A and B are shown apart, each in its own frame.
Chain A
Amino acid sequence: MPLLEISSLKKSFRGPDGLQLIVDVPRLELAEKAQIALAGESGSGKTTLLHLIAGILAPDGGSIKLNGGELATLSEGERDRMRAQNIGYIFQTFNLLPGYTCLENVLLGMSFGPGTDRAFAEQLLRRVGLGDRLHHYPRQLSTGQQQRVAVARALANRPKLVLADEPTGNLDHANAREALKLIREACCENGAALLLVSHDRDTLAGFESVVQLADINLAARRIAA
């Protein structure tokens, strides 16, 4: 049984030109511990798809099964709980909370799910090379270091699935390569599957499995046309 199983997933938004279908994915699967990259240009519905999988957005129709459980029919509160317990999210802009130290940011990542485990949070930060920056604030870190904190935070709740939305988009080439390596290794070590979306060729090049979003998202195809 795949870890993630999407079928007939649809999501529309009301825009100036009326209702616009942004996501129309007939089928997508992701096995446990697998790592897939979704390639797509801006506006192709990448972020919306990730938000749907994470339960941040509710779909208009279709099915999203995570670990056998149906997400699409869950209430918002149930989706919040599911996200807190099963999903780690890495954002392009890191989204670290500026008033919180590195350790506190990572602890927050686990507090809504399995509960805080300070030793594990410290272990994750050491793993991403920030063992000596536990009590530093994001503003005191370089961009690359901030992304590493974001990686540690995404893994803090021991997720089954990590969603990464353009995780290297804000990094220079060297940092991007290093960050990607770290994300993939850390997911492997923690037994988490990885679904990464990017439009950057260098980022996508490292993946054995790259899916063009336009191939699975019928809406993206229509938008492009």
Chain B
Amino acid sequence: MTLPLVVRKSLRHHALSTAITALSIGLAGALLMSIWVIKTQSHETFTNFDGGFDAVVGARSSKLQLVLNAIFHLEASPANIEWKDYASLTNHPGVEFAVPIAMGDNYRGFRIVGTLPDMLTRSEYAEGKRFRVRSPGRVFDIALREAVVGSFVAQKLGLKRGDKFHPYHGLNFNEEHQHEEEYVVVGILEPSNTPADRVIWIPLEGVQKMTGHAVEAAQQISAVLVRLRNPIAGQMLDMQLNRKDTRLTFAWPIGTVMSDLLSKISWFDRVLALVAYLVAVVAAGSILASIYNSMNERRRQIAVLRALGARRTFVSASIVLEAIAIAAIGTVLAFVVYAAITFGAASVIQAQTGVVIDAWRFHPVMLWAPLGLIALAALAGLVPAMKAYRVDVAENLAPSQ
């Protein structure tokens, strides 16, 4: 009972420095946890998400650009390909299922993608998961100017079934580039936590034949999303389209394309991790400094405790425990700050990419970061604890001595 009392009293007596050092530990812990969780989950999502397809076929360009454009709806389309390319893919024996997409328009900054109803009804964006249109509602009719709106777009723009809108030309919103055609919303997608939530889906022909688009666009598409029957088919198409043909690019497998990108930018993760480690060390150093600097003031109290019978190990333990307590308070704060950082970052990531970060999904960093910081604080506490251990009782009992 005495040790916790002594520690509690000391924390209270040094309330300001306790609060500041605990906050610095909190920031360090939050930074460590949020960097790891955001990094891990975004890596997982970007490398595991393929929208239910194995490959993307598009105009000759980088595979990465194709995947980002067709799967994540991020980049601009490199160029268009011909309808006959899509037709030949659908007839390929290794292709189980192919869906054409056409892009080039937006509505208030959200991308409009022309496709076939199969995209929303047949493809599985994840194992056993298909897109579902909120009831009442339905998928667009390919012969009509109808649209199905992703859940995030509907929420952001307040679109609902029956609403009408005019598409705007280009992928970036410019009020001067409004198309004449008017589309009516016939369905809102249930949230899928995928990039599809950030898209407005309309019939393929709607994009192909939009007024103002080039005449040849009527027979062109931006890319084809392909589901293969087996990996051998992928190797066949890789040979056929990437090595023998020069017009097309076959981006396969989608996950590998994304992990190649992420491994290229992994240095950035390492820099962030290094910064977080440094912050943790500085935070532990601040505990050391704050306790160490107060040692002169503590000498008298230590001498009195010793005169009352406290052992050297008791006063040393009280200092280490105080450092641990500061770190423990800091780790509680770390979870609060972590929640703020991660929810903020998650909403930005979702708005920009459609990828959803689950801040409270367990990650080992939620265990090792707080425990590591507490261990680091205990280590930092050892220095002033050694000083406390050496306090001369007789010299420090009276102020005049």
Contact = CB atoms under 8 A, between A and B. Distances in A.
Contacts of B304: 95, 97
Contact of A111 (B2, B10, B306, B311): B2
Contacts of B307: 54, 56, 83, 89, 91, 95
Interface stretch (A64-72, A74-82, A141-149): A74-82
A93 interface: yes
B92 interface: no
Nearest to B399: A93
B12 interface: yes
B305 to A, nearest CB: 7
Contacts of B312: 76-77, 80
22 contacts: A48-B394, A51-B393, A56-B306, A56-B307, A56-B393, A57-B394, A76-B312, A77-B313, A80-B309, A83-B307, A89-B307, A92-B398, A97-B9, A97-B304, A97-B305, A99-B10, A104-B9, A108-B2, A109-B308, A112-B314, A113-B309, A116-B1
Interface of A: 47-48, 51, 54, 56-57, 76-77, 80-81, 83-85, 89, 91-93, 95, 97-100, 104, 108-109, 111-113, 116, 153, 157
B309 A91 contact: no
Contact of A104 (B5, B300, B314): B5
Contact of A91 (B2, B314, B398): B398
B1 A99 contact: no
B399 A99 contact: no
A210 to B, nearest CB: 23
Contacts of A109: 308
Interface in B342-401: 393-394, 397-399, 401
Q: Which among B308, B394, B398 has the greatest number of chain A C-beta atoms within 10 A? A: B308
Contacts of B309: 80-81, 83-85, 112-113, 157
Interface string B1-22: 1100100011011000000000
Contact of B306 (A80, A92, A113): A80
Given A99-B13, A108-B5, A112-B308, 9 more contacts: A47-B394, A47-B398, A48-B394, A83-B309, A84-B309, A85-B309, A89-B307, A95-B300, A108-B308
B239 interface: no
Interface of B: 1-2, 5, 9-10, 12-13, 300-301, 304-314, 393-394, 397-399, 401
A159 B400 CA distance: 27
Contacts, number: 76
B294 to A, nearest CB: 13
B1 A77 contact: no
A99 B9 contact: yes
B314 to A, nearest CB: 8
What 5 pairs between A and B have smallest CB-CB spacing?
A84-B309, A112-B309, A111-B2, A99-B13, A99-B9
B301 A97 contact: yes
A179 B178 CA distance: 95
A113 to B, nearest CB: 6
Nearest to B3: A111
Nearest to B312: A76
Contact of A108 (B10, B305, B394, B398): B305
Contacts of A80: 306, 309-312
Q: Which among B12, B301, B307, B397 has the greatest number of chain A C-beta atoms within 10 A? A: B307
B393 to A, nearest CB: 5
A112 B2 contact: yes
B397 A112 contact: no
Contacts of A157: 309
Contacts of A47: 394, 398, 401
A100 B9 contact: yes
Nearest to A166: B398
A77 B313 CA distance: 9
A116 B309 CA distance: 13
B394 A84 contact: no
Given A80-B311, A108-B2, A112-B309, A93 B398 contact: yes
A19 B58 CA distance: 94
A113 B307 CA distance: 12
A151 to B, nearest CB: 14
Contact of A56 (B1, B313, B394): B394
B27 to A, nearest CB: 28
Nearest to A48: B394
A107 to B, nearest CB: 8
A77 B311 contact: yes
Nearest to A94: B304
Contacts of B13: 98-99
